[in-house]
C-alpha cells in the first residue's frame, strides 16, 4: 500500500522532533494526517514499539506547541500491510497561530502548509491569523513577544496593594484564558515597544532644543518618568499680595496630570509612532496617535462623554487609582484653567489628538482684544460658528491676515477650531 504526501498528508519513518513543525503547520492551515512508520515515498516501514512511540509523540507535542493544540488531535493505531503505524489526525485549530514554544510567534516558530511542504509563515500571515482568531481590538490580540517581564509593573501594583499574580493578569487582560500574553501585557511589560518622546525648546518655536528625552519600558514607568521630567520644567513663580507671598506653578498640576494620562491611556497603539510632548516658554503640547473614537463627536468629549479606545488599559489605570472614571479628564483640564485668561486648546483629527496647555504665568492678567479681534468676536452674535472667509469679508483683509487673527484668538482662549483643512470652523470657547 502506498501513502502519497500532499497538502494534508505527511509521512515519517520514525518519531523526530520535526513532527511538531508539521502539527503546527496543519493546525494553522487546513488540518491533515501524519503517518509515522511510513517512508517519504509512501511505503510502509512499521514501528517496533508503538506504545513507547505514542508516548514520546504526545509528550513532545504537549510540551513544545503553544497554544495547547491537543484538543485538535486524534491519535490512531493502524495495521497496514501487516505493520504497525501511528496516525496523528490534526484539525485546524481555533487559536491560530500555533507555534513552537522555544521559537515564539515569529516566522521561525510558526509554520503553515504549502502543497506537500511545511514552511515558515510570513509575518503578514502571522498577523492575519492573530486578527482572525483574536479580533481587531489591539489590546486583546496576542503579543508577538511572549518573553515578557513585569518588574516595573509589579512595583506599581505592590505600591497600590493590588495583586499581580497569574490569575489577576488574566482577569485584567494581560493574559488570555490559556496563559498567552496579550498586547496589553506587552504595553505594561518591561519590553514595551512604544515610547514617549519629550523635548524642551528655547522660546516659542521648534527651533532650538534645550533638552530632550525618550522614555521606554512599561507604560507605567513611562508615565512616572514623563511626569517627573515635565514637573522639573513646571516652574514655581512667586507674587506678593499684601503681606503674603503667593506661589503659582506655570501649569496647573491637575491639567498636566490629566493631559499626560490622556496621551498614554487613549492613544492608538496599533501604530508604532511615539507619543510626543513638547515644552515651550509659553505652552506644553501633548500629541498622541489616534483621533476620536468612531461615534464620539468633539463636543461629546468636552461634555465628559467618553468611550475608551483601550478599555482594558484604562481599567488597569483605574485599579491603580491613576484615573477616577471615564470622561473626567477633559472637564478637569478645562476647570483647572477657569481663573486664567488663556484657556487650554484641544484639537482632534482623524488620526491624532493634541492638547495644548498655556503657561498660566505668562498671562497673569486678562488679555485685551484688538479692534479687529473685537470685530471678529462680534460675528458670533448672529451665528454659531465662523470660517476664515467670514473674516476676510467682514474686515476686507487678506487670507494671511484672517488666519493670523484666528490664531491669535485661539491662543487667547476666546475661540477654538473644529474640524480641519477646508472644513475648519471656529466656535466660542465655553466660559
| Whether residue 321 sits in one domain with residue 252 | yes
Looking at residue 29, the DSSP 8-state letter turns out to be T
Burial (CB < 10 A; 0-12, 13-18, 19+), residue 379, is middle
What pLDDT, on the 0 to 100 scale, is given for residue 382? 85
What is the DSSP annotation of 115-135?
TTEEEEPPHHHHHHHHHHHH-
* Domain endpoint, select from 362, 383, 402: 362
Domain contains 95: yes
**Which has the minimum average pLDDT: 137-146, 222-231, 421-430?**
421-430
Shared domain for 386 and 344, answered yes or no, is no
Q: What is the pLDDT of residues 29-55, one digit of tens each?
A: 999 999 999 998 889 999 999 999 999
Cis amide prior to 97 (ω within 30 degrees): yes
Instruction: Give residue 356's pLDDT.
Output: 94
| C-alpha torsion angle, residues 374, 375, 381, 385 (rounded to 10) | -100
Q: Is the pLDDT of residue 410 over 90?
A: no
CB 25 within 8 A of CB 31: no
Q: Clarify whether residues 380 and 252 are in a common domain.
A: no
276 and 236 fall within a common domain: yes
Q: pTM value?
A: 0.65
Instruction: List the single range of 7-11, 154-158, 369-373 with lowest mean pLDDT.
Output: 369-373
Q: Is residue 322 located within the same domain as residue 406?
A: no
Phi, psi of 58 (to 5 degrees): -65, -40
- Give the Cα separation of 164 and 161 in Å (integer): 9
**Residue 296 scores a pLDDT above 50:** yes
Spatial distance between the Cα atoms of 352 and 117, rounded to a whole number of angstroms: 45
Query: Which CATH number characterizes residue 352's domain?
Result: 3.30.565.60
384 with 323, same domain? no
End position of a domain, from candidates 134, 155, 186: 134
Number of domains present in the structure of the chain: 3
Domain termination residue (choose one: 362, 392, 408)? 362
The x, y and z cell numbers of residue 17, run together, are: 522532533
Distant-in-sequence, close-in-space partners of 241: CB < 8 Å, separation ≥ 6: none
**pLDDT band (50, 70, 90) for residue 349:** confident
Nearest CA-CA partner of 139 in 363, 389, 316, 355: 316
| pLDDT the model gives residue 131 | 81
Please indicate whether residue 311 or residue 297 has the higher confidence score (pLDDT). 311
The rounded distance, in Å, linking the Cα atoms of 287 and 304 is 20
Note the maximum CA span of the chain. 107
Give buried/exposed letters for 308-336 (b at 16+ CB in 10 A, else e): bbbebbbbbbeebebbeebbebbebbbeb
pLDDT band at 408 (very low <50, low <70, confident <90, very high): confident
Do 15 and 112 sit in the same domain of this protein? Answer: yes
Domain coverage including residue 394: 371-428
* Ranges of H-type helices in 7-70: 19-28, 50-64
382 and 281 belong to one structural domain: no
Is pLDDT above 50 for 431?
A: no
Q: 425-428 and 83-90: which strand pairing?
A: unpaired
**423 and 375 share one domain:** yes
Q: Which residues on adjacent β-strands are paired with residue 200? A: 211, 279
Residue 167 included in any domain: no
**Residue 316 to residue 429: CA distance in whole angstroms:** 33
Question: What's the rounded mean pLDDT across residues 72-89?
Answer: 92
Asked whether residue 179 is assigned to any structural domain, the reply reads: no
Cell numbers describing residue 301: 468629549
pLDDT band at 363 (very low <50, low <70, confident <90, very high): low
Cβ proximity of 73 and 62 under 8 Å: no
Task: Measure the CA–CA gap between 416 and 397, rounded to whole angstroms.
Answer: 21
The DSSP secondary-structure symbol of 181 reads B
Whether residues 356 and 376 fall in one domain = no
Average pLDDT, rounded, for the chain: 88
Extended strands (E) in 123-227: 196-201, 209-215
C-alpha cell at 245: 507671598
* Radius of gyration in angstroms for the set of CA atoms belonging to the chain, rounded to a whole number: 30
**DSSP labels for 229-256?**
HHHHHS-EEEEEETTEEEEEESS-HHHH
What's the rounded Cα separation, in Å, for the pair 302 and 363? 24
If asked whether residues 344 and 383 sit together in one domain, one would say: no
Which residues, in sequence order, are CB contacts of 200 under 8 Å at separation 6+? Answer: 209, 210, 211, 212, 233, 278, 279
Amino acid at each position: 500500500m502506498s501513502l502519497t504526501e500532499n497538502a494534508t498528508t505527511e509521512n515519517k519513518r520514525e518519531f523526530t522532533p520535526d513532527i511538531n513543525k508539521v502539527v503546527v503547520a496543519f493546525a494553522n492551515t487546513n488540518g491533515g494526517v501524519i503517518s509515522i512508520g511510513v517512508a517519504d515515498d509512501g511505503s510502509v516501514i512499521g514501528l517496533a514499539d508503538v506504545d513507547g512511540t505514542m508516548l514520546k509523540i504526545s509528550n513532545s507535542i504537549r510540551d513544545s506547541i503553544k497554544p495547547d493544540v491537543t484538543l485538535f488531535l486524534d491519535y490512531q493505531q493502524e495495521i497496514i500491510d501487516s505493520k504497525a503505524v501511528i496516525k496523528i489526525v490534526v484539525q485546524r485549530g481555533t487559536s491560530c497561530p500555533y507555534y513552537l514554544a522555544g521559537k515564539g510567534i515569529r516566522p521561525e516558530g510558526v509554520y503553515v502548509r504549502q502543497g506537500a511542504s511545511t514552511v515558515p509563515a510570513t509575518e503578514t500571515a502571522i498577523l492575519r491569523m492573530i486578527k482572525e482568531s483574536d479580533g481587531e481590538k489591539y489590546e486583546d490580540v496576542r503579543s508577538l513577544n511572549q518573553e515578557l517581564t513585569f518588574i516595573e509593573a509589579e512595583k506599581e501594583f505592590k505600591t497600590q496593594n493590588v495583586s499581580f499574580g497569574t490569575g489577576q493578569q488574566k482577569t485584567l487582560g494581560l493574559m488570555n484564558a490559556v496563559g498567552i500574553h496579550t498586547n496589553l501585557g506587552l504595553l505594561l511589560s518591561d519590553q514595551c515597544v512604544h515610547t514617549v518622546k519629550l523635548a524642551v525648546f528655547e522660546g516659542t518655536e521648534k527651533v532650538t532644543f534645550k533638552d530632550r528625552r525618550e522614555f521606554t519600558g512599561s507604560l507605567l514607568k513611562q508615565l512616572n518618568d514623563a511626569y517627573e521630567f515635565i514637573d522639573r520644567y513646571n516652574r514655581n513663580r512667586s507674587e506678593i499680595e499684601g503681606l503674603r507671598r503667593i506661589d503659582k506653578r506655570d501649569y496647573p498640576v491637575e491639567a498636566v496630570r490629566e493631559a499626560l494620562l490622556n496621551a498614554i491611556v487613549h492613544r492608538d497603539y496599533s501604530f508604532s509612532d511615539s507619543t510626543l510632548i513638547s515644552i515651550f516658554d509659553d505652552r506644553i503640547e501633548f500629541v498622541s496617535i489616534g483621533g476620536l473614537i468612531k461615534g464620539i463627536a468633539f463636543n461629546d468629549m468636552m461634555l465628559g462623554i467618553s468611550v475608551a479606545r483601550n478599555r482594558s488599559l484604562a481599567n488597569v489605570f483605574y485599579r491603580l487609582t491613576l484615573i477616577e472614571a471615564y470622561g473626567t479628564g477633559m472637564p478637569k483640564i478645562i476647570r483647572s484653567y477657569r481663573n486664567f485668561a488663556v484657556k487650554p486648546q484641544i484639537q482632534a483629527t482623524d488620526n491624532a489628538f493634541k492638547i495644548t496647555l498655556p503657561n498660566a504665568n505668562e498671562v497673569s492678567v486678562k488679555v485685551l482684544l484688538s479692534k479687529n479681534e473685537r470685530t471678529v468676536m462680534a460675528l458670533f452674535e448672529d451665528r454659531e460658528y465662523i470660517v476664515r472667509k467670514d473674516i476676510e469679508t467682514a474686515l476686507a483683509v487678506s487670507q494671511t491676515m484672517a488666519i493670523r487673527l484666528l490664531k491669535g484668538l485661539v491662543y487667547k482662549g476666546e475661540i477654538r477650531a473644529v474640524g480641519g483643512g477646508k472644513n475648519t470652523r471656529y466656535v466660542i470657547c465655553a466660559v
